[in-house]
Amino acid sequence: MLRAGTYFLDAPVIFSAVDSGSAATPIVYQNYPCETPIISGGKRITGWTNNAGVWTATLSSGSYQNFEGLFYNGVRRYRPRTTVDGFLYNVGPVYVPAESDNCSVEVNGQWECFDRFSFNGNDIASNYHSLALGDVEILDFEKWTMSRMRLKSLDAANHIAYLTGPTAQNSDNRGFLPGHRYLIENVMESLSQPGQWYLDRCANAPACTDSNGDWTLSYIAQAGENPETDEVIVPQLSQLIVASGLKYVTFQGLAFSHDNWLPPAEGLGDNQGIPDVSAALSFTNSSHITFDSCIISHTQGWGIEFVGDDKGTSTSDQVVNSTLYDLGSGGVRVGEYPHIHDTEDNIPQYNLVQNNLITGGGRVQPSGIGTGVWVGNSHHNTVTHNEISDFYNGAINVGYDLGISDGVANAHDNTVSYNLLYNLGQGVTSDMGAIYFATSATTGNQALNNVIHDVVHDWQDADGYGGHGIYFDQGASNVVARNNLIYRTSTAPIFNNVSDKVNDIYPMNNVIDNNILVMGATRTLQRGGQGPSTFAFTHNIVYFDNGQVQGGNWSCFDVGGNGLPVPCSTRFFLDFNLYWSLSRKALNFITTDPNTGTPTQYTLSQWQGLGEDMHSLNEDPLFSGPGYPTDDYSLPPGSPATKVGFAPFDSTQAGRLSAPPITPDPLPPAFPLQLMDYSEF
């Protein structure tokens, strides 16, 4: 048992197999009753001096690690940016005539560079303090990722900014996409707002090329604050717990805070799922590990992870009844990207994430997709009865293997059920789903009885797109989505993408059944490809106003054969659905003419003549209290939904089963947001 207080670690706690318990005699580390011990990877800053509201403290480089986080009385404070409430917009990538390590993608005879970009006017200055140390960072908003890069130098005459390293080198989705947003962070010259702080690591001014010596930490106090008496903590340890081969250990009633993940010297060229960011609590090849009624907060990276290696797997681990909040990246990570050495036996499996409050994620890295709980190449996991909110991308990810032609990965038999997922995206990133599957042609994956609402993609870039409820990405097959309530999404409540980007010929056979799909802003059901047997869409209630029933690719061709039109029911199948438009406009369905292949709009009766929705109806479901702020989508007795075989379910069962250890106050945003405008739905 640990008594109350904050325990500042000098080094990560290392566990190995010799620290294990057994099934008969598990080892438990827990709080003393009614007390909350905090295990911290940080240090408290003292010795402040006040100069007209700007407080400073001197830190020796020999006693401190560099850090990019600061927590004032338990609240994250941010470093200064050159813009206070908005973004800058880049001109686009730089092209050169010859290929090199960082200029590797050929475009029209030129080579696109990923370690530099063109900027507008005077948006970037060449004389930022500590520029030579790589301390000034460029936050590059791509599509569903944000790369956190370090500024190296400037060609002011040609308006080119050079970075210390490249982003991921993909010209379609990464790098400096023309007109996309970026931020300049950790600029001493912009330190002006109460609550901001700046660490000056320059030890040989004015050159600022040496950080060995005394540093100066500056903080602009807000009204009523006094750093000398208040608690100011900066993170110092990259991780708090690192375990390998550990078994049968429980952590109960403990709090963990203040890991010190830092982007590397070359910057973080981010990829989907933030794979290169560490977790504060890391368990490799560790089984029967339980976190029960714990608090994980104020992280710079991930909260907790369970991964396997070539020596074994992590199985039967649990994160239950806990609160995870104010997370630099994601909450819980189970598994990794697929590796060539992965087998059914050495990847994580049979793990449980249940009854947790996971909120306020992506405060350092807002990328995704699905970083509240991210399940990678892993099978037989259950994510149930969690409440996940206030992330800048999706909430739950299952699998990471796109397409089918390259082979099938191991993410199968994962269940995502009874979760309450809301306030996602918030206009920061694009191309997301509250629940996202990238599971290739596996079986047994399910999304059941979840409630999803208020998912908003990036509308701040001209090409922002894709705020979905449930997202079957490229190749995800045989997934069942049933009894889900999804409302207010900036694109579609359901998105089924292509089966394979290279050769879209594979049947996916997804099942979308007995769901309530309300107020997709532009469409309810989006289809991404032309493959056969994409999905069956049955017994659903579709309720919308400004949008349409369909969006995307609804063509019906034999793409794997002679290329001629085929019956659309061989591409997708819809039946026994209830449709209702609040504006009472006539329903329109779109597909290709079965004889000519020409895209054509159809009325419901014409659509039924093609063999689709033969038993579906266009009637008001008579929800008890639809729309904001009531959002009551229960059905009264006699609802027309029963005519199409819809089986009512109790959406109030989604979310936590019991109160979490703490319910934190809403967190201040980390980035300029574009929130839901309820009048548009």
pLDDT, tens only, 3-43: 999 999 999 999 999 999 999 999 999 999 999 999 999 99
**Whether the predicted pLDDT of 357 surpasses 90:** yes
Q: How far apart are the two ends of the chain, measured CA to CA in Å?
A: 51
Which residues touch 398 (CB under 8 Å, ≥6 apart)? 370, 375, 411, 414, 416, 435, 436, 437, 438, 439, 445
Low-confidence winner among 276-280, 336-340, 422-426 (lowest mean pLDDT): 336-340
- pLDDT for 558: 87
Distance, in Å, from the CA atom of 355 to the CA atom of 334, rounded to the nearest integer, reads 16
> Which 3 state secondary structure label does DSSP give 589?
strand
**Whether the predicted pLDDT of 676 surpasses 80:** no
pLDDT confidence tier of residue 584, bands split at 50, 70 and 90:
confident
Domain edge (last residue) among 595, 614, 633: 614
The length of the chain is 681
Which residues touch 412 (CB under 8 Å, ≥6 apart)? 379, 380, 439, 442, 443, 444, 445
**Whether the predicted pLDDT of 679 surpasses 80:** no
Burial of 276 (0-12, 13-18, 19+ CB in 10 A): middle
pLDDT confidence tier of residue 458, bands split at 50, 70 and 90:
very high
**Whether the predicted pLDDT of 680 surpasses 80:** no
pLDDT confidence tier of residue 396, bands split at 50, 70 and 90:
very high
Q: Find, among 117, 126, 124, 133, the residue nearest to 167 by Cα.
A: 117
Has residue 29 been placed in a domain?
no
**Whether the predicted pLDDT of 439 surpasses 70:** yes
Q: Find, among 241, 121, 131, 117, the residue nearest to 185 by Cα.
A: 131
- Reading across the β-sheet that carries 197-200, which strands appear in turn? 49-51, 54-60, 214-220, 197-200
pLDDT confidence tier of residue 564, bands split at 50, 70 and 90:
confident
Say if CB 503 and CB 527 are below 8 A apart.
no
Tokens of 652: 């109030």
C-beta atoms surrounding 225 within 10 Å: 18
Q: How far is CA 348 from CA 345, 351, 552, 651, in A?
A: 8, 7, 35, 30
Distance, in Å, from the CA atom of 430 to the CA atom of 271, rounded to the nearest integer, reads 14
- pLDDT for 681: 67
**What is the domain count for the chain?**
2
Domain edge (last residue) among 123, 158, 188: 188
pLDDT confidence tier of residue 121, bands split at 50, 70 and 90:
very high
**Whether the predicted pLDDT of 595 surpasses 90:** no
Q: Which residue type, as a one-letter code, is found at position 146?
A: M
Q: How far is CA 514 from CA 481, 573, 581, 646, in A?
A: 8, 14, 18, 6
Mean pLDDT across 152-158? 97
pLDDT tens across 281-321, in order?
999 999 999 999 999 999 999 999 999 987 789 999 999 99
**Whether the predicted pLDDT of 222 surpasses 70:** yes
Say if CB 36 and CB 6 are below 8 A apart.
no
Has residue 404 been placed in a domain?
yes
Tokens of 454: 């208020």
- pLDDT for 309: 86
Has residue 560 been placed in a domain?
yes
- pLDDT for 596: 82
Has residue 408 been placed in a domain?
yes
Mean pLDDT across 535-549? 95
Tokens of 326: 């104010």
Q: Find, among 619, 623, 664, 674, the residue nearest to 296 by Cα.
A: 664
Has residue 672 been placed in a domain?
no
**Whether the predicted pLDDT of 637 surpasses 70:** yes
Has residue 581 been placed in a domain?
yes
Low-confidence winner among 92-106, 151-165, 589-603 (lowest mean pLDDT): 589-603
- pLDDT for 68: 98
pLDDT tens across 86-109, in order?
999 999 999 999 999 999 999 999
- pLDDT for 586: 86
- pLDDT for 598: 87
- pLDDT for 503: 92
Distance, in Å, from the CA atom of 142 to the CA atom of 120, rounded to the nearest integer, reads 18
**SS3 sequence of 439-451:** ECCCCCCEEECCE
Average pLDDT of the residues of the chain:
96
H or E stretch covering 250 = strand 247-252
- Residue 374 φ then ψ, to 5°: -115, 115
Percent of the chain past pLDDT 70, that is, above it, reads 100
- Residue 425 φ then ψ, to 5°: 80, -65
Query: Can you give the residue range of the structural domain that contains 154?
Result: 88-188
pLDDT confidence tier of residue 547, bands split at 50, 70 and 90:
confident
Has residue 511 been placed in a domain?
yes
pLDDT confidence tier of residue 371, bands split at 50, 70 and 90:
very high
Mean pLDDT across 200-210? 93
Domain edge (last residue) among 140, 169, 188: 188
Has residue 475 been placed in a domain?
yes
Say if CB 356 and CB 383 are below 8 A apart.
no
What is the residue-wise DSSP string for 23-70? SSS-EEEEBPTT--EEEESEEE----EEETTEEEEEEETTT----S-E
pLDDT tens across 469-488, in order?
999 999 999 999 999 999 99
Task: Kindly state the DSSP code that residue 272 receives in the 8-state scheme.
Answer: T
β-strand 589-592 against 599-602: which pairing, if any? Answer: antiparallel
